[in-house]
Each structure stands twice: as C-alpha cells, then as structure tokens.
Amino acid sequence: MKMSRFRLVAILMLVFAVIAFGVAVGARKWPRTPGAQEKGRLTATDSLPPVTSQIQGIEVVSSFIDPDGIANITVVNRTGKTIIGLGFASGNITFTDDNGIAQDKPLPLIAPYGSYTIQTSVSNLRADEPIRLSAVLYDDGSEDGDVVQRKNIHEARERQKEKRLREAKDAKP
C-alpha cells in the first residue's frame, strides 16, 4: 500500500509538471493584450487614418502602409517653389523630412510641380489620429504652416549645425 501511494503522488506530480510546461509554452503563442502605450497604434495590416495638407499648393495624392509596416505618404508640390523641408503632425506627434538638418545649404526635397513620398514607421502613428502636412520650408527662405513645428525644425537644424561644427573642429589636428 505504501508503494502505491508513492507511485500515485509521483504520477500526479509528473502530470502537473507536463500541464504546467504545456501552459507555459502555449502562453508564448497567445496574442498579448496591448499595453497602455500600444493601444491605438497602427500595424502593417491597418490602413492609415485620413491624411490631409494644411499647406496651400501642396496636395496629398496617396497614403498607404506597405508590408514592412512603413507609412508612405506621397505629396505633389504645386506651389512653383522648391521645397527643402516638410513637417507632418498626428496628434501630439510630429515628423519631418528636412534636408536642412544634414547640410548648411539644403538640397531640394521636392522640385516645383514634382512629387515626393515620405516614409515613417507606423509604430509611431495612432490609428485614431489624422495625419496633417502642417509645415513647409522653401529654398527661397520662405515657409508656411504651423509656427511651433517650424520653430522646432529650425532648432533641430541649429543643433545639427553646431554638432557638425564641433565635429569638424575636433577632426582638425
């Protein structure tokens, strides 16, 4: 009788261990509930929220998410001016494409009457926040759109310019 109790306990412990192992392995495959920061974030299988332009003469002609989870937004420049920087906003998130960040004399980003596609990861965007083209900088020094975003672009340019100057100074013997 003693041996059968021991055998029963051993079998029950083995069954419990197998069940616990199965649950642990299966839990890795269960879909996770989005955390507070992930709620509302876009994925590669979603579609973009509405994308509009707040800048007269610049038109959004297409927007989509590619299979790699990259948002592609194509705009056409109908202003007759060369564009060197664009700023987009979605809720309290902003993103830019600005050739003035890397160069003191920025190269053209969009020629007059040309088109351009900006790309950004969808993980940076929310499904419930429309995307707006909200700032533009032209090669003639003029600019249009959201004052705060343009100020942020100019500050980023200045920080990068100072960084380039420091690096050039440090590189000299």
Q: Name beta bridge partners: 72.
A: 64, 119
Per the structure, the complete domain to which residue 128 belongs is given by: 51-171
pLDDT-derived band at 14, boundaries 50, 70, 90:
confident
Rg (the chain; Cα; Å): 27
Q: Does residue 29 have a pLDDT over 90?
A: no
Give the mean model confidence (pLDDT) for residues 129-145: 94
Residue 156 to residues 96, 122, 132, 144, Cα–Cα distance (Å): 11, 23, 20, 17
Does residue 69 sit in the same domain as residue 119? yes
Q: pLDDT tens across 34-76, in order?
A: 443 445 566 555 678 999 999 999 999 999 998 888 999 999 9
pLDDT for position 75:
97
Give the residue-averaged pLDDT of 137-150: 93
Q: What is the mean pLDDT of residues 134-147?
A: 94
Same-domain check for residues 158 and 111:
yes
Tell me what pLDDT residue 87 has: 93
Confidence of residue 12 (pLDDT cuts 50, 70, 90): confident
Predicted local distance difference test score (pLDDT) of residue 9: 78
Number of domains in the chain: 2
Same domain, 81 and 112: yes
Higher pLDDT among residues 41 and 138, named by residue: 138
Per residue in 86-117, pLDDT (tens digit) is 999 998 888 888 877 777 788 899 999 999 99
Does residue 34 form part of some domain?
Answer: no
Q: Are 110 and 69 contained in the same domain?
A: yes
What's the rounded mean pLDDT across residues 141-147? 94
CA 22 to chain centre: 37
Tell me if 151 sits within 8 A of 137, measured CB to CB: no
Please tell me whether residues 24 and 57 are part of one structural domain: no
pLDDT tens digits, one per residue of 149-171: 999 888 988 898 888 888 888 87
Whether residues 92 and 127 share a domain: the answer is yes
Tokens representing 66? 């590619």
pTM value is: 0.69
Residues 108, 59 share a domain: yes
